[in-house]
Amino acid sequence: MLRSLFSGAAIAAVIIVAIPAIPAAVTAVPSMEPGGAPSASLIEAVEPASVPTPTPSPTVMDADATDEPAAAPSTEDVAKDEPHEDATDGAGAAPAPEPERTSSGGATSAASAPAPANRTVTEESDVVYRALPAPLPTELATPACPAPISGSTAGAPSATSERGVAGTTSEDLASFATRYNQIRVANCLPPVPFGNIRYDSCMEQRLFWMAEDPSTDPMSAWGHIGSQRSDGVPSVGCDGNLAGGSGNTGATVADKWWASSGHRASLYKPGNTGSMAGTCILFAMTHGGVPNEPYSFTRAAARWVSC
């Protein structure tokens, strides 16, 4: 929605007026002069919680997806595992015979087959499971802010109204475009291509209509669509974000619109951080007014459109 700012002096008085179309608090920003997965702890867990002390001491193994624990013996068997000789001790020696297992009914079970030479068979309950360490979080890279761009605007015609009010100049447009993009880049927003920042004759017509109000009150006719001129001449042209006053340039009005939260949202759209290729910023400015406003007293308008 469109906003307006007006500050300046007509004749001997300095007039400052803000007519926001969207109520919003003004947010001060540093002004610039024109031109310028969570990580887990390492845990060792023994399962089950209470492991009877075997004789001899069980072999501690790191849990691995490829190592399947030996099947647990039947709860009806009373078994006692004897320690095996190390396969590296006494080359060629036969492994020690496994003692027979006696069941609770007195039957003798077959001896277990010898374990492979490079592993030790243990009860499932003897395996100590170790939690794998959580990976360290990778540092997220902070996206870099857009860089400034170069380019130039297409210019403006320096038109003059029927009653002699001077219109937008190429210098006005270039000054505004340069400062507008400086503000965007300084606030990590992508700049708008300079060729997309353009003079708009329709907004200029409405500024002429305001400036030609015969009243000596510079606030007469000032405002968005719906404002009235003292002589009753109906409004013409297109609306936009407004700014005005004595001594303003394209750069100073760009600063004013950024400093006002409502105008900032309308004309700078900080939430739009994608490509600006399809965005155009339209601009117009007039100098002086009827009956006796000096050339330095300006009125400006700008708006964001798709192009």
Q: What is the pLDDT along the chain (307 residues), one digit of tens a residue?
A: 555 665 444 433 333 333 444 434 333 343 444 444 444 333 333 344 444 454 444 443 444 444 444 444 444 443 344 343 443 444 444 444 555 554 444 444 444 555 555 555 455 555 555 666 666 666 666 678 999 999 999 999 999 999 999 999 999 999 999 999 999 999 999 999 999 999 999 999 999 999 999 999 999 999 999 999 999 999 999 999 999 999 999 999 999 999 999 999 999 999 999 999 999 999 999 999 999 999 999 999 999 999 9
Q: Is residue 68 part of a domain?
A: no
Q: Is residue 112 part of a domain?
A: no
Question: Number of structural domains, the chain?
Answer: 1
| Residue 162 forms part of a structural domain | yes
The phi-psi region of residue 219 (left if phi > 0; otherwise alpha if psi is between -120 and 50; otherwise beta) is: alpha
**CATH number of the domain within which 10 lies:** 3.40.33
In a domain, 159, yes or no: yes
Residue 188 in any domain: the answer is yes
Sheet order of strands, 293-306 included: 197-199, 279-289, 293-306, 241-246
Hey, what are 62's tokens? 């790191």
Rounded Cα gap, residues 270 and 258, in angstroms: 10
Alpha carbon distance 206, 112 (integer Å): 102
Tokens read off for 246: 């004595």
Residue 45 lies in a domain: no
Range of the domain at 232: 5-22+155-306
φ, ψ (nearest 5 deg) of residue 261: -60, -40
